[in-house]
Amino acid sequence: MILRDAFDGLRRFSEFQKNLGLAKTILASRLKWLVESGLLEPLQVRSLDGRMLNPEDCVRKVVRHG
């Protein structure tokens, strides 16, 4: 479900949480596993005021060609 949402364009932790209805701890654990498995990649993004957003807040999909 997380990968589907990533391919549909969701990027922020809050977007995934709202769409999936998962507890923050469960979603964080699953996102961490997906990153460690190489299926998702954290994306460093600057906010409009120049601050770096947390990697947990933004996720970029990685398309694997098999």
| Cα separation, 48 vs 42, whole angstroms | 19
Higher pLDDT, 12 or 32: 32
| pLDDT recorded at residue 65 | 40
CATH number of 2-61: 1.10.10.10
pLDDT, tens digit, 9 for 90 and up, residues 3-16: 888 888 888 888 89
pTM score above 0.75: no
Q: Where are the domains of the chain?
A: 2-61
The average confidence (pLDDT) of the chain is 77
* Residues ≥6 apart with Cβ < 8 Å to 3: 34, 39, 40, 61
| pLDDT recorded at residue 64 | 44
Q: Mean per-residue pLDDT for 16-22? A: 91
Token pair belonging to 3: 């990968």
